[in-house]
Amino acid sequence: MRIVPVFVGLDYHQSGVQVCVMDGKGNVLLNRKVDNRTGKIAKAIRRVGQPAGVAIEACCGAADLADRLHQQTGWSISLAHTGFVARMKQNPDKTDYGDARLLADLLRVGYLPKVWLAPADIRRLRRLVRYRQQRVNHRRDAKLRIRALLRENRLRCPLDVSAWSRPWMRWLRTVQELGAEDRWLLDQHLEDLELFGKQIEEVEKLLTARAEEDAVIRKLLSFHGIGLVTAVTMRAEIGRFDRFRSGKQLARFCGLSPRNVSSGERQADAGLIKAGNPQLRAVLIQFGQRLASRTTGRWAGLVARLLKHGKPRNVVVAAVTNRYLRWLYHQMQPEQLAA
């Protein structure tokens, strides 16, 4: 019996998975909802043919399904970029039936916009890194609320000390020039600050332990200026450096490439491209600020040349970070890690 090669699109939901199977000519052989279990999904597909490829739109839980399905069947599983798939749809209606069919069709014609399927350990690291950033954001918001409360009451610390220093915090805990309601609010915000600080310390301990076990993070930490947060964020969001074809492609993935807006005879840039993970780009730009502040070495010379040509400081920082990433790409190849 001849096994027909087919192309499969899976529209993932926690309650079930819409399975669309399409042959090489674009004929739909199957399009129905199946229980969210890899065994059920594989059985439904095998009844129709042997998959030449399977596409799943990237979403929460889709990567785990892809991992399990690949381990059970050995099929080639691809994650599709949600944003690009939506742009290619060209249809205002949204149904599970149509989404699964579109994924199968894009896979069949070779137009599926793929994203990297990160291994399970990298996905776990991502969750830790993003949790830490969420706590940092909450702590920042609590500080902003405290400063706003002080401004509302026109209060300033009588001591000549920096905000958030220990003497300043002692003054906050004892300040009496507040109404009962505002005093209660201030105490709540101070409790939040303490809680978020403890949570950040705890997650950083976990990240430190992870760094000791990961060769890529250890290599990143060996470079001057790269600390724990920068290293684990790069590892979590970039994953493997050798999955990119060049350092230029890596920099573009990180959202550090200039956006070209040329037209006809006019050649121009318009800031950085709107791409990449915002947290990754923010961490890298902060690292670029440290690079740009150096007074000696290779990167200091580049900064001096760009500033001499009249480039704004923020443009110089982005340019130096871009160049550094392109250099780092070559330092993080497997042969360099093994050395």
Please determine, for residue 1, whether its predicted confidence score (pLDDT) is greater than 50: no
Identify the pLDDT of residue 335.
85
Position of tokens 């892809």? 66
Identify the pLDDT of residue 275.
76
Instruction: Give the mean model confidence (pLDDT) for residues 271-283.
Output: 86
Distance CA 206, CA 173 (A): 31
Identify the pLDDT of residue 83.
85
Identify the pLDDT of residue 286.
94
In this predicted model, what pLDDT tens digit does every residue of 182-216 receive, in sequence order?
A: 999 999 999 999 999 999 999 999 999 999 999 99
Instruction: Give the mean model confidence (pLDDT) for residues 60-73.
Output: 92
Number of neighbouring beta carbons within 10 Å of residue 8: 29
Identify the pLDDT of residue 285.
94
Please determine, for residue 252, whether its predicted confidence score (pLDDT) is greater than 80: yes
Alpha helices, DSSP H only, in the chain?
Answer: 38-46, 62-73, 82-89, 96-109, 120-152, 166-174, 180-213, 215-221, 228-238, 247-253, 278-292, 298-308, 313-331, 334-338
Distance CA 271, CA 314 (A): 10
Identify the pLDDT of residue 259.
77
Phi first, then psi, for residue 225 (nearest 5°) are 95, -15
* Rg, the chain, Cα only: 26
CB 12 within 8 A of CB 56: yes
pTM here is 0.86
Identify the pLDDT of residue 336.
79
Please determine, for residue 15, whether its predicted confidence score (pLDDT) is greater than 50: yes
Q: How confident is the model at residue 276 (pLDDT cuts 50, 70, 90)?
A: confident
In this predicted model, what pLDDT tens digit does every residue of 290-325 receive, in sequence order?
A: 988 887 888 888 889 988 888 889 889 999 999 999
Instruction: Give the mean model confidence (pLDDT) for residues 28-34.
Output: 94
Burial pattern 282-311, b for ≥16 Cβ within 10 A else e, equals ebbbebbebbbeeeeeebeebbeebeeeee
Distance CA 331, CA 167 (A): 45
Distance CA 185, CA 145 (A): 9
Please determine, for residue 282, whether its predicted confidence score (pLDDT) is greater than 50: yes
Q: What region, left, alpha or beta, does residue 11 occupy, with left being phi > 0 and alpha being psi -120 to 50 degrees?
A: beta
Identify the pLDDT of residue 263.
64
Please determine, for residue 3, whether its predicted confidence score (pLDDT) is greater than 90: no
The average confidence (pLDDT) of the chain is: 91
Edge-to-edge, what's the strand order for the sheet holding 114-115?
28-34, 17-22, 5-12, 50-57, 77-80, 114-115
Q: How confident is the model at residue 241 (pLDDT cuts 50, 70, 90)?
A: very high
Which of 55, 7, 13, 61 is closest to 34 using CA atoms? 13
